[in-house]
C-alpha cells in the first residue's frame, strides 16, 4: 500500500492540527500516525490508496480553522510499517 510522509510548517501546533489530521485520516480510512515535532512542525505518515492520500494531502494543506499552513513537504514512503488505524503519537522531544 502506498505511503506518504508529510512535514507541515506554519502555525500548526496548539491549534488542533494533529486532531484535524487524525479525524480526516479516519474518515478516509487511511492508516498511520501524526505528531508534533520539536522544531515546531507537524509530521504525519499515512498509508492508503493514491486517491485517499491525495485527498488527505489536500486537507492537510488547508488545515483546521485556527491554523496557518505555510508549506507542506511530501515524500513517498514505503518502508515503515504503520499498522492498522490512525493514531496521534506523543510529541517528538
Q: What is the pLDDT of residue 93?
A: 64
Cβ count within 10 A of residue 69: 17
How many C-beta atoms surround the C-beta of residue 41 within 10 A? 21
- The ranges assigned to domains in the chain are 3-78
Low-confidence ranges of the chain (pLDDT < 50): none
Give pLDDT, residue 72: 98
The predicted pLDDT at position 77 comes to: 84
The three cell numbers locating residue 34: 501524526
Q: Which residues pair with 36 in a beta bridge?
A: 42
Could you say which architecture CATH assigns to the domain 3-78?
2-Layer Sandwich (3.30)
pLDDT score for 11 = 98
Which of the residues are catalytic?
18, 36
What is the pTM assigned to this prediction?
Answer: 0.92
Amino acid at each position: 500500500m502506498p505511503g506518504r510522509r508529510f512535514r507541515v510548517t506554519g502555525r500548526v501546533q496548539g491549534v488542533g492540527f494533529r486532531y484535524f489530521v487524525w479525524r480526516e485520516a479516519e474518515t478516509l480510512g487511511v492508516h498511520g500516525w501524526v505528531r508534533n515535532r520539536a522544531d515546531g512542525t507537524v509530521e504525519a505518515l499515512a498509508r492508503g490508496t493514491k486517491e485517499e492520500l491525495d485527498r488527505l494531502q489536500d486537507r492537510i494543506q488547508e488545515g483546521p480553522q485556527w491554523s496557518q499552513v505555510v508549506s507542506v513537504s511530501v515524500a513517498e514512503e514505503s518502508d515503515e510499517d504503520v499498522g492498522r488505524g490512525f493514531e496521534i503519537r506523543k510529541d517528538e522531544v
